[in-house]
Structure 1
Amino acid sequence: MMIAFAIYFLILGLVCGSFFNVVGLRVPAKQSLIHPPSHCTSCNTRLRKRELVPLFSYLFAKGRCRHCGVSVSPLYPIGEVVTGLLFMLMFVRFGASLELLTALLLASLSIIITVSDLKYMLIPNKILAAFVPLLLISRLLHHDQPLWHYLIGALLGGGMLLLVHLVSRGQMGLGDAKLFFVCGLAIGIPHILVAMLLACLAGTIIGVALQLLHLVKRKQPIPFGLFLALGTLAAYLYGDTLIEGYLNIIT
């Protein structure tokens, strides 16, 4: 039964991931989520139902539009697959519990803002504002820590990056600070501190690797929302283990 439910959440994630791609691509561009219906962005041909099956439509079409032959961005299937895997992981980790609601919301937010930040280097206020009440409700329904831990986590997360934004004179986007505020609301303190360290570590390693591969130039801005999402998810899932391991090393 556990395997059946895990597969269900994998499929659910694939379907939701397809929608999250739309949200992440259309909201920053101030486009409707409904109109126009899904279409090829090159030839504007409306896609048929068989062309909207998450992941498989991309694979069967070999990554190209069936009508004009233009390559389809791999961002679409990657977003769907990662969402599916995250949903399945969250179910395996938390099972059929109230905490699963927060886990799925956090995974959903991470995918949407990553798509948006990678495409436009923008984290829209509308997306963050939509998740704040949802995460507040999920935390009211279930919390492992006192509620003030999550409030402090939000203020600390947003405050840290707001300070960086001010000191760097805007080199760190204000959207990152707002995103980390929302992340802190979900994972609380001390996990938001772990998330910050992991995000900076991931950003440094990947940033240096991209420069060495000559994929980006020195001082070229790269979207940091992805790394904040990675750090937050890792801290949320494995923060206690990481903190315990660190304390064992220093004591």
Structure 2
Amino acid sequence: MLIYTTISIFTLGLIFGSFYNVIGLRVPQSEDFLTSRSKCPNCGHTLAWFELIPVLSYVMQGGKCRSCHARISMFYPFVELSTGILFAFSYIVFGTSLELIVSLCLMSLFMILFVSDMKYMLIPDRILLFFLPIFILLRVLEPLQPWYSSILGAFIGAGLLALIIIVSRGGMGAGDMKLFGVLGIVLGVKATLLAFFLSTLFGALISGVLLALGVIKRQNPVPFGPYIILGSIVAYFFGDIIIEWYLTTLIR
């Protein structure tokens, strides 16, 4: 039963991941994402239903458009597959609890913002404002311990980024600040601080590697959103383990 449900939720994640690609690409451009049909960005070919099957269509078409044969970016199946994995892992961790709904909503937010920040270096207010009341309601129904941790987490998350923006004179974006404010509601104080630490750590390490390989240039701006997402995912799922390990191992 566990395997069947996990596969079902993984498949659901693949489907939603395809939709999150559309939202992340169109919302920053103020384009309709509900009724407008998906098209090839190269030739404008309207995609048929069998060209929209998550991951499978990409594989069966050899990663190319069926009409113009232009190469399709691996970014699309990556988002779909990542969403499926995160959905399935959420179920494995939380089972059929209310926290599973929190996790699925959080992973959904992350994947949409990952798309928009990678493509446009933008974290849209419309996306954050959509998820904000959902997270507030979910944390009322499934509160952290202590209950005020969500409130403090929101203030600390947004305040910490605001301070960095002021000190660095715009070294980080306002979207990152707003995102951390929303994340604070879900993660609470300790996990929010851990997410910030991990985000900067991952950002430094990964950017350093990409610079060394020549993938990015030092003068080129790099979106910080993906690092926030990665750090927050680790903090959300493994925060208690990491903090306990730190307190019992490194502080002694």
Task: Give the TM-score range, shorter chain.
Answer: over 0.9
CA distance in structure 2 between the aligned counterparts of 1:146 and 1:247, rounded to whole angstroms: 19
1:232 pairs with 2:227: no
- Name the Cα RMSD after superposition: 0.9
CA distance in structure 2 between the aligned counterparts of 1:74 and 1:28, rounded to whole angstroms: 21
CA distance in structure 2 between the aligned counterparts of 1:74 and 1:30, rounded to whole angstroms: 24
Identify the residue that residue 190 of structure 1 maps to in structure 2. Answer: 190
Per-residue CA deviations over 1:55-80 (Å, capped at 9, x if unaligned) read 00011011110001111111110000
Identify the residue that residue 98 of structure 1 maps to in structure 2. Answer: 98
Per-residue CA deviations over 1:18-37 (Å, capped at 9, x if unaligned) read 00000110001111112431
Identify the residue that residue 173 of structure 1 maps to in structure 2. Answer: 173
Task: Output the amino acid matched with 1:62.
Answer: G
| Structure 2 gaps, min length 5 | none
Identify the residue that residue 26 of structure 2 maps to in structure 1. Answer: 26
CA distance in structure 1 between the aligned counterparts of 2:70 and 2:147, rounded to whole angstroms: 50
Per-residue CA deviations over 1:80-132 (Å, capped at 9, x if unaligned) read 00000000000000000001011111111111101110000000000000000
CA distance in structure 1 between the aligned counterparts of 2:84 and 2:48, rounded to whole angstroms: 22
CA distance in structure 2 between the aligned counterparts of 1:147 and 1:74, rounded to whole angstroms: 42
Matched-pair contact (CA < 8 Å) for 2:183–2:192: yes
Per-residue CA deviations over 1:36-62 (Å, capped at 9, x if unaligned) read 311111111111111110100011011
| Structure 1 gaps, min length 5 | none
**What's the offset of the Cα at 1:171?**
2.1
CA distance in structure 1 between the aligned counterparts of 2:232 and 2:119, rounded to whole angstroms: 20
Identify the residue that residue 43 of structure 2 maps to in structure 1. Answer: 43
CA distance in structure 2 between the aligned counterparts of 1:13 and 1:97, rounded to whole angstroms: 18
Task: Output the amino acid matched with 1:74.
Answer: M
CA distance in structure 2 between the aligned counterparts of 1:102 and 1:219, rounded to whole angstroms: 38
CA distance in structure 2 between the aligned counterparts of 1:11 and 1:155, rounded to whole angstroms: 36
CA distance in structure 2 between the aligned counterparts of 1:114 and 1:68, rounded to whole angstroms: 28
Give every structure 1 segment of 4 or more consecutive aligned residues whose post-TM-superposition deviation is greater than 3 Å. Answer: none
Identity of aligned residues (%): 44
Task: Output the amino acid matched with 1:61.
Answer: Q
Matched-pair contact (CA < 8 Å) for 2:123–2:175: yes
TM (norm. structure 1) is: 0.98
Identify the residue that residue 112 of structure 2 maps to in structure 1. Answer: 112
Identify the residue that residue 157 of structure 2 maps to in structure 1. Answer: 157
Matched-pair contact (CA < 8 Å) for 2:161–2:176: yes
